């Protein structure tokens, strides 16, 4: 038997909220899982608080007390993730008319340390993308795996997809004439993503050589058995090629997306265009990549200028 305590049973309205995130907002499995864990911890905490009648009857003083308990146990990032889940939960209950005001109104989490996103240089990206061909030439992998893995990374870098969007990608979403993919991202928001000539050529080659099924609703990325390639398989695959290229293992698929955005801006792309390509609702989310580009310029100036 497991020594782990059983998670508390969530109220019906909390379970409804999580279904809403998964089925209507199309949040990733990981995000829904994180929100569930945050709500379970909150529910468990409520059970230790005398005089409370459930999450929909709380006042701000209760949430401030909960924030103090979270801060004593977790770091700033985790605390803010829990608060983000609760804010979304109370916004949903407010919209459904179950409460008249959010008890989190006016409550802010601990200030986050600003960190610039990690990314790969253009040379590092080229080295990473060459990995499948290197393994194929050494007869370390089969042609199916080499082309499929190359396709994964070309789409990540060529289209700037989130890894969940890449896993969900079907042939019907790609217009092979224009080389543009129609992506359904966070909050069911659609956007158009040019994927580039190289990635498009990989799509066509893989489809003609290895796809068992390539109808509009069939997945682009599949296992050897023809099943949709999962997010986890994509993450593990990338680690293999990072190791082959001598690059850090903590560079997740999302860092390829960071590289995509940074390289666009470095080469003169308009910030609002990059915002649209990434599917960011707020321009401020995209602006962090301008900080990355400025930091690179300053570093280059420091290294190259005689009076820097």
- Residues belonging to the active site: 162, 186, 254, 257, 280, 289
Cβ-count burial of 299 within 10 angstroms (0-12 exposed, 13-18 middle, 19+ buried)? exposed
- Write the DSSP symbol of residue 174: E
**Distance of alpha carbon 240 from the chain centroid:** 20
Instruction: Say how far apart CA 258 and CA 48 lie, in whole Å.
Output: 42
Strand pairing of 180-184 and 190-194? antiparallel
Instruction: Say how far apart CA 117 and CA 106 lie, in whole Å.
Output: 29
CB-based contact 104:86 (threshold 8 Å) = yes
The SS3 call for residue 181 is strand
Half-sphere exposure of 115 (CA within 13 A, CB side): 7
């Amino acid at each position: 038997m497991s020594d782990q305590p059983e998670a508390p049973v969530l109220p019906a309205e909390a379970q409804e909220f999580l279904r809403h995130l998964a089925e209507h907002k199309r949040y990733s499995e990981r995000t829904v899982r994180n929100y569930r864990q945050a709500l379970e911890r909150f529910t468990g905490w409520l059970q230790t608080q005398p005089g409370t009648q459930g999450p929909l009857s709380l006042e701000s003083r209760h949430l401030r007390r909960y924030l103090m308990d979270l801060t004593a146990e977790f770091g700033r990032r985790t605390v803010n993730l829990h608060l983000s889940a609760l804010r979304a939960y109370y916004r949903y209950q407010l919209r459904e008319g179950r409460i008249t005001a959010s008890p989190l109104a006016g409550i802010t989490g601990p200030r986050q340390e600003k960190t610039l996103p990690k990314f790969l240089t253009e040379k590092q990206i080229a080295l990473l993308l060459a990995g499948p061909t290197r393994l194929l030439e050494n007869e370390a992998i089969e042609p199916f795996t080499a082309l499929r893995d190359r396709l994964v990374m070309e789409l990540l870098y060529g289209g700037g997809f989130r890894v969940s969007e890449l896993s969900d990608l079907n042939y019907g979403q790609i217009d092979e004439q224009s080389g543009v993919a129609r992506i359904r991202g966070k909050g069911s928001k659609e956007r158009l993503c040019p994927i580039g000539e190289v990635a498009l050529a990989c799509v066509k080659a893989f489809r003609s050589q290895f796809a068992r099924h390539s109808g509009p609703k069939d997945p682009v990325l599949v296992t050897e058995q023809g099943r949709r390639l999962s997010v986890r398989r994509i993450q593990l695959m990338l680690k293999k090629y990072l190791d082959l290229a001598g690059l850090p293992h903590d560079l997740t698929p999302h860092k390829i997306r960071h590289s995509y955005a940074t390289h666009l801006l470095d080469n003169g792309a308009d910030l609002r265009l990059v915002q649209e390509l990434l599917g960011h609702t707020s321009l401020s989310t995209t602006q962090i990549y301008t900080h990355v580009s400025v930091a690179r310029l300053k570093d280059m100036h420091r290294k190259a200028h005689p009076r820097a």
